[in-house]
Amino acid sequence: MGHCIFIRYLRFPRTLWIIIIPLIFSPLLLNKSPPLRCLYGVFVIAALWVTEVVPLAVTSLLPILIFPLLGLITSKEICMNYIKDASVLFICTLMLSLAVENCKLHRRIALFMLSKIGGKPIFLIMGMLGTSAIISIWISDTAATSLMVPIAIAVTETIIRNPLEIQKKDERSRFEQTPREQLNWNQRSTSEKALLKAMMLSCSHGSLIGGTTMLTSTGPNLVFKEKIYEALGEKESGITFLTWIFFTLPPLTFYLLASLFSMQMVFFGPKSFLNIFRRTTQDEEDRANAIRAAIKVERSQLQPVSFAELSVLGWFMLLIIGWITRNPGFVEGWGELLFGSKSHMCRIILIYVGTACLQAIIYVWRIYP
C-alpha cells in the first residue's frame, strides 16, 4: 500500500517539480558564502512563484521558512517584514486549525471520546466539558464550541425525546428546523430544560478553559509571551511550551471541576452529587444505551479514515513534539543544539509554516491526481 502511494506520488508532475527545483539550485549551497545562500533562496522562491507548482499563498510565506534555515536572518527579523512574529505564529496556528476542521479530524476525536461517557447528567456534562477542553487546546475556542454544540444537541435530543417524536422528526428535514424546534423546547419539563442548558454551557465553558492550556491555544497567550520576552528575555523569563503546560494544567483541572460543580448546583441542586454513588437504575441504563446509540449513528455517518486525517494527525504529533523538545528548560533542546543561543521562540513558526506548506502540497496532489 505504501509502495503504491509512493509510486503515485512520484508520477505526479507537480510533485516532481517541487523536488527538482531545490535540487537544481543546490550547487549554490556548496559554497558557504552568505550571498550564494541568499541567491539559492531567491532562485527557489522565484521558480516556485513562476511555475505555480504550489499555491502562491504558500510561496509567499516561504521566506519565513527558507532564509532562517539558511542562517541568513533570524525568523523574528524576517517576520517583521510581514507582521509581528507573534501574529505570524497565530496566523499559522489558524492555518493548522483550518486543516483539522477541513478534514473533520476533530469531529472524529470528539465522537470517540463522547462514546465512553455514562448516562447520568453529571457524567454527560463532565464528558462535554472534557471533550470541549481537549479540542480547544488545538483549535480556536469558537471553532471548538461550534463543533461541540451540534453534538450536544444530538445527544440531549436522543435522551429526552420518545419514539413518537423520533417518527415525527424524521418526516421533516433537520435543515428546516431551528435548535429550539429540534428539541421541542416549549414542551420540555424543567428538568429537561436544565439538562439542555447545562449541556450547552459545558461546550462554551470547556472551550474557554481549554484555550489556556498551551501558548498557541489563544491570541492573548501569544501576546503575553511576547511582552514577557520583550521585558525579560526568553531565557530569563523561563517560559517555554513545557513549563507553560505544567503551569496551566493544575488551574485547568480546577476550573473544569469548578464549572462542573457550579452547573450541577445551579441546574440540578446539591442532592444531585449524591446520585453519583447510588446504583444505576434501569431508566439510567436505558438512557446510557440511547446516548451510545446516538453517538454510534453520528460516527457511522463519518467517512472512513482518510489520507488527509492521517496526514494532519501525523503533522500535529510532530508539531507537539517539536514544541516541547525545542527548549524543555531542564536540558538543551533541539533549538539550542541546531541553532545555538540565538535561537528565538519564533523559530517554531518554521515548523508551523513548513507543515502548512507540505499540507498544501499534499492537498494539490490529492485534488489533481
The string of pLDDT tens digits covering residues 18-68 is: 778 888 888 888 877 888 888 988 999 898 888 888 778 778 888 888 888
On whether both 85 and 120 belong to a single domain, the answer is: no
Write the secondary structure of 251-309 as one string of H (helix), E (strand) and C (coil).
HHHHHHHHHHHHHHHHHCCHHHHHHHCCCCCHHHHHHHHHHHHHHHHHHHCCCCCCHHH
Task: Answer whether residue 147 is part of any domain.
Answer: yes
Average pLDDT for 324-353: 57
Question: Which grid cell sits at 69?
Answer: 534555515
What pLDDT band is residue 368 in, cutting at 50, 70 and 90?
Answer: very low
On whether both 62 and 128 belong to a single domain, the answer is: no
% of the chain exceeding 70 in pLDDT: 69
Taking 60 as the threshold, does the pLDDT of residue 362 lie above it? no
Over the stretch 251-271, which tens digit does the pLDDT of each residue have? Answer: 889 999 999 888 888 888 777
Average pLDDT for 331-347: 57
Taking 50 as the threshold, does the pLDDT of residue 324 lie above it? yes
pLDDT at position 254: 92
Question: Which grid cell sits at 138?
Answer: 488545538
Q: If you search the block for the grid coordinates 488545538, which residue do you land on? A: 138
Over the stretch 104-117, which tens digit does the pLDDT of each residue have? Answer: 777 787 777 777 77
On whether both 146 and 224 belong to a single domain, the answer is: yes
Task: Answer whether residue 318 is part of any domain.
Answer: no
| Domain extent for 195 | 105-302
Q: Are 219 and 212 in contact (CB under 8 A)?
A: no
Q: Which of 86, 116, 69 is closest to 354 using CA atoms?
A: 69
Taking 70 as the threshold, does the pLDDT of residue 300 lie above it? yes
- Give dist(CA 313, CA 101) in Å, integer: 12
Question: What total number of domains does the chain contain?
Answer: 2
On whether both 197 and 56 belong to a single domain, the answer is: no
Q: What is the pTM of this model?
A: 0.62
Q: Are 109 and 147 in contact (CB under 8 A)?
A: no
On whether both 214 and 110 belong to a single domain, the answer is: yes
Task: Answer whether residue 316 is part of any domain.
Answer: no
Taking 80 as the threshold, does the pLDDT of residue 364 lie above it? no
pLDDT at position 334: 66
On whether both 116 and 226 belong to a single domain, the answer is: yes
